[in-house]
Structure 1
């Protein structure tokens, strides 16, 4: 590690941790050149002062940029005034099926509640109105999972009052950077400040309207996107987070870091879901262990960390097929053990955040 890099890291870590987590993010100033490799970010208290700033054309701009409370926070709070509940889906590990599970959660929440035995709800049962916000800006897969191939032909409409979300159904609205890209294969090659700016626009400029629930799908890790979502939503309130993992210890290592992030950031952990816990054969409905829980899996993890265990969802190959075609796996295969366990998770979350009372008494 170079001297300048180690100095920068040391100066950044010298800031009080709670101050970093709680600091409202400012709008990024207009820069005259790209940020250097180790740029602390124009919104950082170290902007214009670190070793990486020496000789940068942006140094004076960053040093003089305002660092006070973000004036957009009240605007975001007002915009989200009609959103009754907000739920984050987190995982420190990539590849655990977090985005897939976010899509399943949103589809389940936006459908009339099913009975505990998996029976179809009555036609008169009310369904909540749900928004699904995709903050995985470099891997926006939510549109394809919910809309199928039509996602590539879908774009955002702009009105006088802001951006209109894409409605996948009468009760499910989506927002993703994928709707803004020229094609579905276009890469998003952005630094942190630009990512923060788009997440702010998803909250400030999108006409979410009256929603019973907003589900926020986040990328792996505990960095820019997570800090942005937490900072922007602090004033309007977040009900909590669901952590997604797979059974093996390698995945649980990163989930422990995500849990530590939630505790330091003051985010309530609603529970942990163990995804892909076994394989369900569509023909015989038998289950086989794919990822061995060498240290006890998510259930043991929850017992040790004293957080709720929401359940294990087995791997069903039809989930991937349904996501490829943009169909609801829960509606197409309600008899699947995976579908029934997702519904179990949703029932627990409804009760925990108080959404059940809202649905029963609209």
Structure 2
């Protein structure tokens, strides 16, 4: 059937946002690492065809090899199995593709990759509610979606659309994460709610979905992301890694039955 399970993968979850620029890819990668730290076998699929960020966030430069069955072998880094369209093209290449090609590429990266045995495959979705999101929802039995938003109203309006889309295609919403939730001055420690604060928590309560946590706007998260050394891996004992692991714990607890059954 169109919704056939992917052999060897217990749970596929989508990390999505209603709009770009909210830190979805950074969150997806660090969440995957947080789940890894909980002892799970984790894969990360960068399904953002037009703007793949995972190669830069992970520092991966090599192209994936093929196995004997002509399936691509995901790149192994930080204890994760990782695949991105960005591994197959140069960083500055524009992907000028129509919807059907995007949909085909996502399906191929899901089904024609030798993922092996995974407890969770985290899919970094393109922003919005278009072809790519529908392809994934219709072709893969997603066990849940996580919505990333920033606190301001503009982002929340778009996050609401993302939530509505997943509900319409019967994908459980595992919760909302408020990214860039606040700024803490590295010199004096003063906390500033640059984009407002608490909007995503309020939205989660209003819609009756879990609120998974707040991630601050912090230099360490930005610099480690830009250098290809994600903060959960490069600063495992720091406060940011603890936040991502706490979010990972809430996600894992909701998937427990699925993972245990696999």
Q: What TM-score do you get using the length of structure 2 for normalisation?
A: 0.93
1:308 to 207, 210, 220: 210
1:13-24 equivalences in 2 (<5 Å): none
Q: Report the equivalent of 1:272.
A: 176
CA contact (8 A) 1:166 1:174 kept: yes
RMSD: 2.1
Distance in 2 between residues matched to 1:355 and 1:212, nearest whole Å = 11
Q: Report the equivalent of 2:57.
A: 145
Distance in 2 between residues matched to 1:357 and 1:139, nearest whole Å = 30
Distance in 1 between residues matched to 2:226 and 2:186, nearest whole Å = 18
Q: Which moved more, 1:133-142 or 1:300-309?
A: 300-309
Q: Report the equivalent of 1:330.
A: 232
CA contact (8 A) 2:33 2:233 kept: no
Q: Report the equivalent of 1:244.
A: 148
Distance in 2 between residues matched to 1:96 and 1:290, nearest whole Å = 14
Report whether the alignment pairs 1:210 with 2:117.
yes
Distance in 2 between residues matched to 1:90 and 1:355, nearest whole Å = 23
CA contact (8 A) 2:183 2:217 kept: yes
Distance in 1 between residues matched to 2:102 and 2:180, nearest whole Å = 30
Report whether the alignment pairs 1:178 with 2:86.
yes
CA contact (8 A) 1:143 1:174 kept: no
- SS of 1:164's equivalent in the other structure is coil
- SS of 2:165's equivalent in the other structure is helix
Q: Report the equivalent of 1:54.
A: none
Q: Report the equivalent of 1:227.
A: 134
Report whether the alignment pairs 1:290 with 2:177.
no
Count of aligned residue pairs for this structure pair = 261
Unpaired runs of 5+ residues, structure 2, are none
Distance in 2 between residues matched to 1:357 and 1:268, nearest whole Å = 16
Report whether the alignment pairs 1:89 with 2:15.
yes
Distance in 2 between residues matched to 1:178 and 1:93, nearest whole Å = 20
2:27 to 101, 111, 123: 101
Distance change in 2, residues 1:95/1:299 (3 Å) = same
Q: What TM-score do you get using the length of structure 1 for normalisation?
A: 0.68
Distance in 2 between residues matched to 1:144 and 1:211, nearest whole Å = 23
Per-residue CA distance 1:51-109 (angstroms, 9 max, x = gap): xxxxxxxxxxxxxxxxxxxx7x47x63xx221111111011111110011001111111
Distance in 1 between residues matched to 2:43 and 2:259, nearest whole Å = 19
Distance change in 2, residues 1:200/1:106 (3 Å) = same
Question: Displacement, 1:292?
Answer: 1.3
Per-residue CA distance 1:9-56 (angstroms, 9 max, x = gap): xxxxxxxxxxxxxxxxxxxxxxxxxxxxxxxxxxxxxxxxxxxxxxxx
Distance change in 2, residues 1:107/1:285 (3 Å) = farther
Q: Report the equivalent of 2:72.
A: 163
Distance in 2 between residues matched to 1:326 and 1:154, nearest whole Å = 14
- SS of 1:277's equivalent in the other structure is coil
Distance change in 2, residues 1:208/1:291 (3 Å) = same
1:262 to 150, 166, 178: 166
Q: Report the equivalent of 2:254.
A: 352
Per-residue CA distance 1:205-247 (angstroms, 9 max, x = gap): 10011011100010111111001111110xxx32201000000
CA contact (8 A) 1:246 1:298 kept: yes
